[in-house]
Amino acid sequence: MEDMLLMTPGPTMVPEEVKKVAGMQPFHHRTEEFYQLFSKLNENLKKIFQTKNEVITLTSSGTGGMEAAVANLFSAGDKVLVASIGYFGERFYDIARAYGLDAEIYDFGWGNAVDLDILEDKLKKGNYKALLVTHNETSTGVTNNIENIAKIANRYNVPVIVDAVSSLGGIPLKMDEWGIDAVITCSQKCLMSPPGLSFIALSDRAWEMTKTSNLPKYYFDLRKAREGVLKPKPDTPATPAVSTIMAVAKATDMLLEKGLDNVYKKQSEYGKKVRKYVKELGLDLLPSEEVASNLITAIKVPERYKASDIINYMKEKHRVLITGGQGPLKGKIIRIGHMGYLTDEMLDKALYALKDAISSL
Question: Where is the binding site for substrate, in residues?
Answer: 335
Q: What are the binding residues?
A: 335
Give dist(CA 316, CA 332) in Å, integer.
21
3-state secondary structure (DSSP) of residue 79: strand
How far is CA 77 from each of CA 96, 100, 101, 157, rounded to the nearest angstrom?
Answer: 10, 6, 5, 19
Helix axes 222-229, 62-73, angle to 10 degrees: 110
Alpha helices (runs of H) in the chain, residue ranges in sequence order: 16-22, 32-49, 62-73, 87-98, 116-126, 146-155, 175-178, 204-210, 222-229, 242-258, 260-280, 307-318, 344-360
Choose among 36, 37, 56, 30: nearest CA to 45.
56
Choose among 242, 244, 241: nearest CA to 192.
244
3-state secondary structure (DSSP) of residue 201: strand
Residue 264: count of CB within 10 angstroms of its CB: 16
- Cβ partners under 8 Å of residue 191, min gap 6: 48, 168, 169, 185, 248, 251, 252, 255, 340
